[in-house]
Structure 1
Amino acid sequence: MSILERMQNQRSSLSSNGVKILDFILKDPASLSNYVSQDLAVKVGVSQSGVIKFAQRLGFKGFTALKLAIIEDLAHKNAILEPKRPIHNKIHSDDSSITIAQKLIQEKTHAMIATTNAINFSEFETIVKRLNQADRIQIVGIGGSALTAKDLTFKLLKLGITALTEQDTHVQIATANTLTKNDILIAISFSGKRREIIMAAQSAYDKGATVIALTNIKKSPLRQLAHYTIDTIADEKQFRSSSISSRTAQNVITDLLFMALLQLKSDDAKLLLSDISSVIDRI
């Protein structure tokens, strides 16, 4: 975790003057190199001792130590991430294999942390209970999201849950049209705007089924339609080759759903998983 992220996480424990200093730094951390503690105090409208106490509150000896740590952190980040010729987000055509590996790890890790931090766990527990009680669960997705849908379907089947998935969009819509109020449709779409997914979700909604969306935090037709939404957060803007970070965000949610259901089903699920493994071992 970067120093700036650590500072942001401590926001709730800071004084009102501490929050002022934090907000000023976060607005333009690169400009911090131009300030000494007295200058920053005048700029923010707090005392010089307030600036020093702020740095100490964050675990630094003083403002200079905090400033140097932030500058070093920014320099390290820029050395890895600043774009020259991007071929995927901040990965460039002249990057070495080890640099690409480091950037991918950072991108995927950030997607997982941001996504899990955004979960409303009270609503998540409700979703898990609804999934456990459902007669059938249809999971829809296209492109990279179809891979996530297939993986989640397999995981649910191993728990003894009736789960359905199909890559053909016509079959997806036809299946959704057979759902009832006792069924659930999970729609996986990072954009939340794919017409085929919206049509399947709308069909399930019209039949009284519960619609759960795995999508990004922006407003979208899917988000508006869904009864429940689990946010998937990923840094994918201009260059979305292979949907790398968005699929990572989706997978961390589907893995979490699987583990939560496994915990809920307890011994019965463990026995079923053991039986499946035993059968496969005999192949």
Structure 2
Amino acid sequence: MPPLVKIRSERDQMSAIERRIADFILDNAHLLRDYSSQQLASALGISQSSVVKFSQKFGFRGYPDLKYSIGQAVARNGADAPAQAAPAADGDEYTRLEESLRRSKAAAEEETRLLNPREGMERIVGLVDGAGKVFVCGLGDDGLFAREFGMRLSLLGVLTVHHSDPILMMANLSAARPGDVLLVFSEFGQLPQLSQISRQFQACEGKVVSITRHTANPLRAHADAALVVSAHDSSPHIEALLYRSSLQYLLDFLFVLLCQANPDRHRQLGINLERIRHLLDT
């Protein structure tokens, strides 16, 4: 994983000093080659050992290795950045906002892709495809994504149980059987109701898949498998948009994998879509 992506994705789990180092590196990656560990420490008002420990936390022998890796990443991926930024800088506010949002969404989706490796995605596809029933739950805004994805699963012929009410979902756990899957949507993974539902579902020998931000949270910690979303921005309203965009990308790719993994489900999707078109035409 590229070092800047890893630093950004792990930022929420860092200590206060580590976040200061991370923010400086993320904001000044193209200038990092001019800073020694001592200069970086002095600029941030921290000890040099904190910089070294930060580098080692991300798998580097020391700060010089981290600096070199970031320099290589900037050289590979940032060569075209000035040319891309020029139109936005010379244009009006409308153009700047449009370009900034487009690039932020692309970066968040790429980070989300890197944080969900192939083996993890394929394991979740196997769990869902082999499940007798798939339970889908999410509250608030998460419930909108849960409902839409539950509908997609139904189109594939997957027997789906969806509820946005935790009490109704808890009641439906009486129908859970070994091998069933529970998809739990929770941006921050902190809601105790969803954690309780997950524990009860696992007690029925079902498998829990959490869909949360890439943060340390109780729901993700106790799930059997996890999908994680990366979305970071200094403006809360932009960060919320990045989360929705990255989550939608992740769910879209999971759906495509499910379609390709089982020809029978792909065939059932075609049949169900044709039924819906016929219903709408009559």
Indicate the larger mover: 113-122 or 103-112. 103-112
Question: Secondary structure of the equivalent of 2:171?
Answer: helix
What TM-score, normalized by structure 2, do the two folds share? 0.66
Q: Residue 276 in 1 paired to residue 272 in 2?
A: yes
Note if contact 1:30-1:71 (Cα within 8 Å) is conserved in structure 2. no
Q: Residue 142 in 1 paired to residue 136 in 2?
A: no
Counterparts of 2:119 and 2:32 in 1: how far apart (Å)? 39
- Tell me which amino acid in the other structure corresponds to 1:263: Q
- Residue by residue over 1:119-172, the C-alpha shift from the partner in whole angstroms, topping out at 9 and shown as x without a partner, is 121122122111111011011111221111111111111111111212223212
Classify 1:185/1:197 alpha carbon distance in 2 versus 1 (closer, same or farther; 3 Å).
same
Instruction: Report what 1:261 is aligned to.
Output: 258
Question: Secondary structure of the equivalent of 1:191?
Answer: coil
Q: Residue 251 in 1 paired to residue 248 in 2?
A: yes
RMSD between aligned residues: 4.0
- Residue by residue over 1:53-105, the C-alpha shift from the partner in whole angstroms, topping out at 9 and shown as x without a partner, is x99xx58xxxxxx9xx699479769969xxxxxxxxxxxxxx94443333332
Counterparts of 2:81 and 2:252 in 1: how far apart (Å)? 37
Note if contact 2:232-2:239 (Cα within 8 Å) is conserved in structure 1. no
Counterparts of 1:75 and 1:100 in 2: how far apart (Å)? 12
- Tell me which amino acid in the other structure corresponds to 2:268: L
Q: Residue 182 in 1 paired to residue 163 in 2?
A: no
Counterparts of 1:134 and 1:29 in 2: how far apart (Å)? 45
Note if contact 1:29-1:70 (Cα within 8 Å) is conserved in structure 2. no
Deviation at 1:185? 0.4
Question: Secondary structure of the equivalent of 2:226?
Answer: strand
Classify 1:199/1:104 alpha carbon distance in 2 versus 1 (closer, same or farther; 3 Å).
farther
* Selected match of 1:112 from 109, 118, 124: 109
Counterparts of 1:152 and 1:194 in 2: how far apart (Å)? 20
Instruction: Report the identity percentage.
Output: 19
Note if contact 2:138-2:184 (Cα within 8 Å) is conserved in structure 1. yes
Note if contact 1:30-1:74 (Cα within 8 Å) is conserved in structure 2. no
Question: Secondary structure of the equivalent of 1:173?
Answer: helix
Classify 1:279/1:74 alpha carbon distance in 2 versus 1 (closer, same or farther; 3 Å).
closer
Counterparts of 1:238 and 1:195 in 2: how far apart (Å)? 28
Instruction: Report what 1:197 is aligned to.
Output: 194
Q: Residue 99 in 1 paired to residue 96 in 2?
A: yes
Segments of 4+ moved more than 6 angstroms: 32-35
Instruction: Report what 2:207 is aligned to.
Output: 210
| Structural mapping, 1:113-128, within 5 Å | 113-128=110-125
- Tell me which amino acid in the other structure corresponds to 1:119: N
Classify 1:281/1:199 alpha carbon distance in 2 versus 1 (closer, same or farther; 3 Å).
same
Note if contact 2:89-2:96 (Cα within 8 Å) is conserved in structure 1. no
Deviation at 1:106? 2.2
Instruction: Report how many aligned residue pairs link the two structures.
Output: 225
Deviation at 1:182? 2.2
Structure with max Cα Rg: 1
